[in-house]
Amino acid sequence: MSDNRVAASLFDVTGRGYAVTGGASGIGLAVAEVLADSGAHVALLDLHPGRVEAETARLRERGGKVTGHVVDVTDGDAVAAAVRAAEADAGRLDGVFANAGISVGASFTGPGWRVEEFPIDAWDTVRAVNLDGVLDTLRAAAAVLLPRGRGRIVLTASTAGLRTDPMVAYSYTSAEAAVVGLGRQAALDLAGSGVTVNVIAPGPFRTNIGAGFDPGEAVWRETVPLGRIGHTDELKGLALLLASDASSYMTGGVYPIDGGALALSHTPA
């Protein structure tokens, strides 16, 4: 077998079924694109009907086997139903990407901030999507994949969950740190079941989460060794790896993809 055929076999997801929450924009859409372009059947699970309709149609036009489902990840029952629908769409389910996330509020370390003014509403909103929604997606995925005895679950966290980050809110960094712990614990609990659990931890990428906030390229040159913000296409290789048989011995891993930003933050002064 030639080298090219070996690589194709390792990363082959043809005919497999996947569901992606937050799949109609940003990182979730990049994941859905690479899976669909690689021959998988992909279900876009997203809160926004217009985006779901538009991106489902666009990916179908380029030859993808794609379906769309409008779902709010803060509704656990709706998430479970959507994951089951994704399985029905493809006739099977091989993996779920728990990717939906938001960022609300700002960091609260500036002059004059008082602890009694902590914005608990923003905290609850972010936790409901970024942590509780991920947990419910993981539970729904496990309910389908465990009886099959195989599958991939991939959680999206953030490098903000691995270090302090002055550009995000307490709610966001705390939820993302919890997702990292959740992924590791779930990987341990599911070890031996045939279902793996891994975590992607993106650094700065151009997505809807950062819409309206861009400190400028100078900041990225100072804080990211590669000198720029990432494009969501640059996550596709990692997503395909974690979805495919190439990651068969990988579970409980947390994989930063951040242009080297974590390496810079860990460099002694």
Residues serving a catalytic function are 172
Tell me which residue of 154, 43, 45 sits closest to 91, measured CA to CA.
43
Q: Name 18's Cβ contacts closer than 8 Å, sequence gap at least 6.
A: 32, 35, 40, 41, 42, 43, 86, 90, 93, 94, 95, 96, 97, 243
CA dist 18 and 95 (Å) reads 5
DSSP-based three-state secondary structure for 199: strand
DSSP-based three-state secondary structure for 11: coil
DSSP-based three-state secondary structure for 200: strand
Is 34 within 8 Å of 95 (Cβ atoms)? no
Burial class (CB in 10 A: 0-12, 13-18, 19+), 199: buried
CA dist 227 and 221 (Å) reads 4
β partners of residue 20: 44, 97
Is 65 within 8 Å of 41 (Cβ atoms)? yes
Backbone angles phi, psi at 153, to 5 degrees: -120, 125
CA dist 71 and 81 (Å) reads 9
